[in-house]
Amino acid sequence: MNVTEFREGVRAWLATRDLSPGPDHSLQGQVAQLARLRRALYDAGWMRYGWPEEVGGLGGPAVLRAVLGEEVTTRGLTEPEVYSLVEVLAPTMISYARPSLAAEMVPLLLSGREQWCQGFSEPTGTSRAMLGLARSHVLDRRQFGRSLASFQAARHRLAETLADIEGAEAALLAADGDLGSLLAKAAAGQAALTAARHSQQVLGGIGFTAEHALHRHIKRVLVLDGLLGSTQELIRAAGAQLRKEGSAPRLVQL
């Protein structure tokens, strides 16, 4: 099946079905809608195109997956950031897992029977990469006859970035239960946003150019922060959960 035939087929199929999201636009509502949408697409075969037959796919070029994502997201059937998780998780499983494990697990993800979360060590990893770029810059560059590393403003920004990264990594390691996971993902996102902002400030003009590597990390951070709830959304969700329960765990339990 070529791209044109696939797109026309998807459009015709979607036109005969009501897969519109319900009134619940919370994170839980988005995840439930994604599962519903994937299950319908998988049962009809559309979700299987572009994936290897070894993992339950129907073969064909990978661009068919992009066409399907474009058709369902432009119709507002799911949020692009949430839908795109499959393009991170499934290829990783196919490339690095044992073939038997990939054959078992990938269909569960594609069909919506299971929902997986991005491993949120990635925001802290890219945060450290940005911190490394900024640190190398201040060590190598001189301004007004002095090393940039001697300026207190630059040093404070790098120190604050490192503190946020260390805190996020600790939260990720200690995360347990729904509340701990919410706060850990929020901490990872906040650390990444802080690293992006401070690294950009320390690097100055060179950090805005396409020639410098920083922009790749910043783009990735902005995508990761929005996946399955942004930092601000998750903080609000954690607060709502605590209000509903009427109590908060002790700090040591977090």
Per-residue pLDDT reduced to its tens digit, 194-215:
999 999 999 988 888 888 989 9
CATH number at 88 reads 1.10.540
End-to-end CA distance of the chain: 51
Structure tokens at 107: 């269909």
Last residue of a domain, one of 89, 110, 131: 110
pLDDT tens per residue across span 90-136: 888 898 889 999 999 999 999 998 877 655 667 888 899 999 999 99
Q: Is 193 exposed, middle or buried (0-12, 13-18, 19+ CB in 10 A)?
A: buried
Residue 249 · residue 190 · CB < 8 Å = no
Is residue 116, in this structure, part of any structural domain at all?
no
Q: What pLDDT score does 100 carry?
A: 93
Q: Are residues 137 and 248 in the same domain?
A: yes
Q: Are residues 103 and 151 in the same domain?
A: no
pLDDT tens per residue across span 152-173: 899 999 999 999 999 988 888 8
- Where do we find the tokens 């035939």? 5
Is residue 43, in this structure, part of any structural domain at all?
yes
Q: Are residues 172 and 200 in the same domain?
A: yes
pTM above 0.85, yes or no: no
Q: Are residues 178 and 60 in the same domain?
A: no
Structure tokens at 110: 């594609």
Last residue of a domain, one of 110, 143, 160: 110
Q: Which range of residues forms the domain containing residue 189? A: 122-253
Last residue of a domain, one of 110, 132, 163: 110
DSSP notation for 240-253: HHHHHHT----GGG
